[in-house]
Amino acid sequence: MTDPTPRPAERIAVARRRRPDALIVGLTGGIASGKSMAADRLAELGAVVIDADVLAREVVAPGTPGLAAIVERFGTGVLRPGEGPAELDRPALGAIVFADPDARRDLEAIVHPAVRARAVELARAAPPGSVVVEVIPLLVETGQQDSFDMVVVIDIDPAVQLERLVARSGLTRDQALARINAQATRERRLAAADAVIDNNGSPDELRAATDALWRRLGQR
């Protein structure tokens, strides 16, 4: 369900509208919370969806400055073996950064600025009157909550989150916990929310809650 409770007025006052003729929404949630399912539904309903995970792959694609910077920092061991253009080996890189907070911060310093710049570019290119939804897993961790007209959090019970992550990824429980614990706490994320969608239920319930959010967005 959605929570209509607004965030404190002083935070609304400092929110920066990057498009006076569009509504810019930040959509976030922990890993395996259901962000992609909600974003897909919002796209079906007419939102312009900008997915930070998609952009993160784009900015480290073969031949990009982002990939070159990663190799300079982490070495050629994070590249997939074989012929052809050098390509990032995401599992190899993940094994490094989720075991070492300093390494993770170094990776974020490479990737995040490029992703933010591309996201702003795409948001500015959206047609007038658009609802632009930026899907950002680390929105709170990177301090971007006041950059949006509205922040929506997909919320999930930690036990349900862990089970879903293990089921979808093949990670061990310890590996999955490491990824969950590398993100903001549930409480910190909820504190940044203008609206909350509870995703402890079924896909149909998530779809219904997302539809309700869309109706709310249309009233702003």
How much of the chain exceeds pLDDT 70, in percent?
91
Q: What is the pLDDT of residues 164-184, one digit of tens each?
A: 999 999 899 999 999 999 899
Query: What are the residues whose beta carbons fall under 8 Å from the beta carbon of 139, sequence distance 6 or more?
Result: 26, 27, 28, 145, 151, 192
First to last CA, the chain: 19
| Stretch (H or E) spanning 161 | helix 158-169
Which pLDDT score, from 0 to 100, does residue 69 have? 96
- Quick check: 12 and 6 in contact, CB under 8 A? yes
| Closest of 114, 105, 113 to residue 64, by C-alpha | 114
| Token pair listed for 18 | 């990057």
Kindly report, residue by residue over 60-108, the tens digit of the pLDDT. Answer: 999 999 999 999 999 999 998 876 788 999 999 999 998 899 999 999 9
Tell me the per-residue pLDDT of 37-65, one tens digit each, with 9 for 90 and over. Answer: 999 999 999 999 999 999 999 999 999 99
Q: Confidence class of residue 36 from pLDDT cuts 50, 70 and 90?
A: very high
List the beta strands (DSSP E) in 63-169.
131-135, 150-155
